[in-house]
Structure 1
């Protein structure tokens, strides 16, 4: 007796055969993948193979397209690689038994990439890749939302028409770097138990991974060079020293610059972690203001600086908030 998942898949595949759309079919296969529990996959694939009909073969080929076996150079968890291999093996030799349009699934060319803030404070960034199939049809973009306060994990993803990009206001970026950021963000989310993510991410995730892996020269663990493009450092004694501490604080998430992050930097992180000269302490408010202008010139951020900056000299003079690393460094300097 057929399972409910099998019956539903066959019905939906029958409709997809009329559309002749690789993209529509891949999106469906990604949602289908997300709906299957890991312990259901083998039985589901076996049922499709035993049926052998056109709809079943299309389902197997589509699942393999959005769950490709990683290439030898891909960094993928072994469990994920094993699962992808199951889909690939189940579809072996089947694509040639289907209409030519089905063979285009997964065979795309990356045409561009963009990256930038999703909101005024950069608490979420957007990584975007654009693709087109080998025959030039069905251009589309993959958009992945990456959370910054929680370490850079993927929290949402959508596949849209290219015109969707027009309203995002993102800067062009290196496709290999953006593809790597997408893979890094998804992998991080997989490692965090209970991470709050949108339902759309779960449904698009298999296709997002497959698309990112098709990008030539993917760079994993790439840094963000935003800070290196900042060239408006105030002409003040200690400004360079102050900016170096700011760069240390923002780390690999420089686009995230909100009132709460400014306050954390001035009132908590600096007193706890930083050893600064008197000149750098005096220059810090102007350095932070200059960085804030560069980072979007948000009024609420500038107001937060005005509120917190006057307290900085007193906070830096008080050793009680100092963390262990700062205390050790201070004791060594006194020797």
Structure 2
């Protein structure tokens, strides 16, 4: 089947289409199938088999995630196929295929453009009104300037920021997303962080389409220069509309502690959790800060989209806050211990 599909790809002469195909093929292979499949390709020696090897190598990132102790480096990843090939040996999907190097495959020149892309921009922002999912977008173009495309990765916020879906689309797809430009190295780092988190969580719920795009998505993110891993979100620092009332700064510090590194996620349910559960359980606040909290939360909500349902939830829950904060039975263990130390 792979050889038959590769025959069509040789006619289409599209690096992008071939890489997407290789990513799907990679996702379909079970671990115990990889070695025999690669050996069969190497032994076959046809142009179709050689293209399949080259395409799999182009999306191969078996050394990821990079660690300081890794024998390879980020620079090795950016060097592309050269980092995975040696004299007489090509490394594909973590398996060394002897007797073959990418230089010796004898394939058309367009094949060498696979993986050789330049990142031309990045965008980041909410995928939905409440930011329960964010979108990280990177745009790329091949070395010859052809086949511009974007990678779009959906990142779940309620479950910690793991990748839940990804697509590769034409650049015009970006027009309907309404995202803000961002630093490419930061966005690429967030993509890698999201995939790495998903790899750590067993049974994570992701879209059925994600595995087939994942290899190419990781390869594209690793191709972006100046990667920044675990970059802090600067949204809170951009907020400058703190109400001019006593206790507002203290209240905002607790709000910032609650939203943490996921400030774009601000839904009615999260507002209610903050006002009726988290604050009474975790926060020690002065009386002025408790009094200022509703206005602080309203100001933050206006800054974060001013969604009517969010503002309505504040009106519902805020009047209960003084009584909830005064109810010592709601305090968690950490709050009780902290109070004893005051």
Describe the shift of the 1:229–1:45 C-alpha distance in structure 2 as closer, same or farther (beyond 3 A). Answer: same
Correspondence 1:70-219 to 2 at 5 A: 70=63, 72-74=72-74, 84-86=93-95, 92-94=101-103, 97-219=106-228
Q: Which of 222, 227, 238 in structure 1 is aligned with 2:231?
A: 222
Question: In structure 1, what is the equivalent of residue 47 of structure 2?
Answer: 54
Cα distance in 2 between the residues matched to 1:67 and 1:92: 15
Shift of 1:324: 1.3
The answer (yes or no) to whether the contact 1:238–1:279 under 8 Å persists in 2 is: yes
> Helix, strand or coil: the match of 2:328?
coil
Task: Tell me which protein shows more helix as a share of its residues.
Answer: 1
> Helix, strand or coil: the match of 1:126?
strand
Query: Normalised by the size of structure 2, how large is the TM-score?
Result: 0.91
The answer (yes or no) to whether the contact 1:67–1:88 under 8 Å persists in 2 is: no
Query: Normalised by the size of structure 1, how large is the TM-score?
Result: 0.93
The answer (yes or no) to whether the contact 1:95–1:102 under 8 Å persists in 2 is: no
Residue 33 (1) aligns with residue 21 (2): no
The count of aligned residue pairs is 321
Describe the shift of the 1:22–1:309 C-alpha distance in structure 2 as closer, same or farther (beyond 3 A). Answer: same
Shift of 1:95: 6.2
Segments of 5+ residues of structure 2 without an aligned counterpart are 67-71, 76-83, 85-90
- Cα RMSD of the aligned pairs, angstroms, is 1.7
The answer (yes or no) to whether the contact 1:30–1:63 under 8 Å persists in 2 is: yes
Question: In structure 1, what is the equivalent of residue 243 of structure 2?
Answer: 234
Q: Which of 12, 16, 33 in structure 2 is aligned with 1:19?
A: 12
Q: Which of 45, 52, 58 in structure 1 is aligned with 2:38?
A: 45
Q: How far does the alpha carbon of each residue in 1:276-316 deviate from its partner, in whole angstroms, 9 at most, with x for none?
A: 00000000000000000000010000000000000000000
Judge which range, 194-203 or 61-70, deviates more. 61-70
Question: In structure 1, what is the equivalent of residue 87 of structure 2?
Answer: none
Segments of 5+ residues of structure 1 without an aligned counterpart are 1-7, 76-80
> Helix, strand or coil: the match of 1:142?
strand
> Helix, strand or coil: the match of 1:199?
coil
Question: In structure 1, what is the equivalent of residue 296 of structure 2?
Answer: 287
Describe the shift of the 1:33–1:69 C-alpha distance in structure 2 as closer, same or farther (beyond 3 A). Answer: closer
